[in-house]
Structure 1
Amino acid sequence: MHAHVMIAEDDVRQADVIRRYLEASGYRASVVHGGRDAIEQVRRLRPDLLVLDVMMPQLNGLDVCRVLRRESNVPVLMLTARRDEDDLLLGLDAGADDYLMKPYNPRELMARVRTMLRRTRWTPAEPDAALRVGEIAVDVRCHHVTSDGHRVDCTPGEFEILAALAAAPNRVFTRAQLLERTRGFEAAATDRTVDMHVMKLRRKIEPNPRRPVYLVTVYGVGYQLTDGSR
C-alpha cells in the first residue's frame, strides 16, 4: 500500500506543487488549508506523515502539532519561513520531527519525506522482542516505551533516538550518527535538534532530569544509554 501524506498548507499553489511531487513519487496525497481542518482530517484519515506549514488560518502549525501530539504519533515535517533558531526550536518542542525552511527545493522536501517514512516503518529483526536497558524498555513494533514500569509517551523523533540508543547499550553515539539513524536532518541543524530531543526525553525517563543516570552525555562526543548503575 502506498504511504499517505497529508499536506496542511494555506498557500493553494504551494500545496498543489507539493501534492504533484508526492503523487509523481507514488504517494497518496491529500490537502487541507487550515489548522482545524488539519486536526480533523488527521483524526479521520490517519495519514502516514503530515507536512505542516507553521503559518495557517484557524490554528497555526505549532498549535496543530501540540493538539495532535496529545493523541497521535503521526510524523510531522514542519514548513516554516522563520529563520530564527528559537522559532525553529519551538517547532521541535511542539512535537515536530523535522523542519524545512522556506523557500525550499521540492526535491529536498521529497528527500525528507522518504527518510521520515522509511524510519517510521522500520521494525526490528525480532518484532516481538523489546529493547531493554535497565529500567528502560523500548518496543519498536508497538512504538511503546516504559521507564521503571511506567508508560512514556514519545514523539516519533524522540522514540527513534531512544530506540537507536537502546539497540546498542553503553555505545556512545555522536549527534550526527543519531540524526543519520532517525531523520537525516541537514548538518546545520544537527547539534540543537538532537539536544532538544534528548532534553525532552530526560524529562520523561529520568528520576532527576538535571542529573541523568540513563541518557548520559559523553562530553565532546555525544550520548549513550546506560542501565543507570554507574
Structure 2
Amino acid sequence: MQTPAKVLLIEDDVRLAERTAEYLQGHELAVEIAGDGETGLTRALSGEFDVILLDLMLPRLDGLEVCRRLRQRSALPVIMLSARSEEIDRILGLELGADDYLPKPYSPRELVARIRAVLRRAVPSPEGPTSTLRCGPLVVDRARRRIEVAGAACDLTAHQFDLLWLLLEARGQVLSREQLYQRLRALRVSRPAPTTPRSTAASTSSSARSAAPSPPPTRAAGLIRTVRGVGYVLDDSPEGAA
C-alpha cells in the first residue's frame, strides 16, 4: 500500500483548517496543521512533508515571508491559499517561489487536484526526460528546483526558473516571445500562466541577469542572448558566450 503524501497546512482559521484537513485525509493525504507562520516555517523545514498549503494572512509571520524564507533553504512545493485575490498578491506569491495560488473560498475538490498536480511535477518520472540540464557553467536541476553557476547556488523566482528550463530544453534554438509564452502555459498545468508574451520577455531578460551572480563574474550572463526582432536563445558556443 502506497504511503499517503504528507501535507502541512499553515492556516490560522481553526475551523477552516480542520474542515480542510478532514477532507484531504478522506482523499489519502496525511495532514498536519500549523496555526501561525513561525511554527509553520519551522515544521516546513523539518523535511517531513511533501507539499505545503500556505495561507497568506498569518499571525507572527505572514505567508509571503514564510514562502521567501522557505525558498532560501528548500524546494518543497508550496500552494498559497488566500482571501486576498488581488493580482499583486498572486504575482508576489509566485515571484517569491510559490508553485500555485488558490483564492478563498476554494473548492476542496480543486485543492486536491492542485495538490496532486504539484506532487506529480515534484517527482520526475524514471522513464521521462532527465531532470538535470547543463550549459557551460550553468547546471539546472528541475527535480530539486536548484540552479548552480560555476558551482555556486543561484536564486531565481519560480517564473524565472521555468523560463530558464525551457530555454535549456531548446538549447541553441531561438524562441520567440509567443513561443515562450505558450510553452510556459503548457508547463504550468495548474499554476497561473504569465499574463502576456511581453511580460514573459521581461522575465526572460531578468532571468539572464539573475543567472550571473557577481562577484565572481561568470559567463552565464552571455548564455541567454536576445536575437533582435526574433526572440531569445540559450547558447554556450564561443560566439554565443562572447
Q: Same fold (TM over 0.5)?
A: yes
Letter in 2 for 1:225: L
Letter in 2 for 1:176: Q
Identify the residue that residue 78 of structure 2 maps to in structure 1: 76
Which protein shows a greater Rg? 2
**C-alpha separation between the residues in 2 aligned to 1:200 and 1:60?**
26
Identify the residue that residue 124 of structure 2 maps to in structure 1: 122
Identify the residue that residue 104 of structure 1 maps to in structure 2: 106
Letter in 1 for 2:124: W
Q: State the 1:94 CA deviation.
A: 2.6
**Partner deviation per Cα, 1:122-143 (whole Å, 9 max, x = no partner):** 1565898841224322234555
**Structure 2 counterpart of 1:46, from 36, 39, 48:** 48
Identify the residue that residue 147 of structure 2 maps to in structure 1: 145
Given the superposition, is the C-alpha separation of residues 226 and 66 from structure 1 closer, same or farther in structure 2, using an over 3 Å criterion? Answer: same
**Structure 1 counterpart of 2:62, from 49, 60, 78:** 60
Query: Percent of aligned pairs with the same residue?
Result: 37
CA contact (8 A) 1:7 1:31 kept: yes
- What is the aligned residue count? 227
Q: What are the within-5 Å matches in structure 2 for residues 1-230 of structure 1?
A: 1-123=3-125, 125=127, 130-140=132-142, 143-154=145-156, 158-171=160-173, 172=175, 173-186=179-192, 198=204, 201-206=207-212, 213-215=222-224, 224-227=233-236, 229-230=239-240
**C-alpha separation between the residues in 2 aligned to 1:14 and 1:91?**
21
Q: State the 1:56 CA deviation.
A: 1.2
Q: State the 1:39 CA deviation.
A: 1.1
For 2:45, what is the secondary structure of its paired residue?
helix
Letter in 2 for 1:168: A
Structure 1 gaps of 5+ residues are none
**C-alpha separation between the residues in 2 aligned to 1:22 and 1:32?**
15
**C-alpha separation between the residues in 1 aligned to 2:20 and 2:199?**
25
Please identify, of 142-151 and 69-78, the stretch whose mean Cα deviation from structure 2 is larger.
142-151
Structure 2 gaps of 5+ residues are 215-220
CA contact (8 A) 1:179 1:190 kept: no
